[in-house]
Amino acid sequence: MNAMDVRVTGRVQGVSYRAWTKSEAEKAGLSGWVRNHGDGSVVAHFEGSAAALAEMKRHLYSGPAASQVEHVIAVDTEPQNISGFEIRETLGA
């Protein structure tokens, strides 16, 4: 089991980016969570195989049609043994 924390910047709030991320993560068999951050970015935590994480990172650059992704910053981290994938409340302001 591998894990990564991600911050996505650009026009990623108000464009269904979180719902799209949840859908893509579930298709890839990943667990974790995604949430808006008060600074306008979207942050997420993903857990799964190294191959699935690498593919998810590539997908995050695309996002849903209305998004305009500028940066995807991913950092390897420790798995938290999360079951399922959820959209969480906005963090910070």
Dihedral of the alpha carbons of 21, 27, 28, 31, in degrees to the nearest 10: 60
pLDDT for residue 9 is more than 70: yes
The tokens 């959820």 sit on which residue? 86
- The question of whether 58 is a catalytic residue gets the answer no
Q: Which of 2, 36, 81, 88 is catalytic?
A: 36
User: What pLDDT does 93 receive?
Assistant: 60
* 10 backbone dihedrals φ, ψ, rounded to 5°: 120, -155
pLDDT (tens digit per residue) in 31-84: 999 999 999 999 999 999 999 999 999 999 999 999 999 999 999 999 999 999
When pLDDT is averaged across residues 24-37 and rounded to a whole number, the result is 97
Indicate which residue of 2, 7, 11, 18 is catalytic. Answer: 18
Locate 24 and state its tokens: 């893509």
pLDDT band at 30 (very low <50, low <70, confident <90, very high): very high
- Residue 88 among the catalytic residues: no
- Just give the CATH number of 2-81: 3.30.70.100
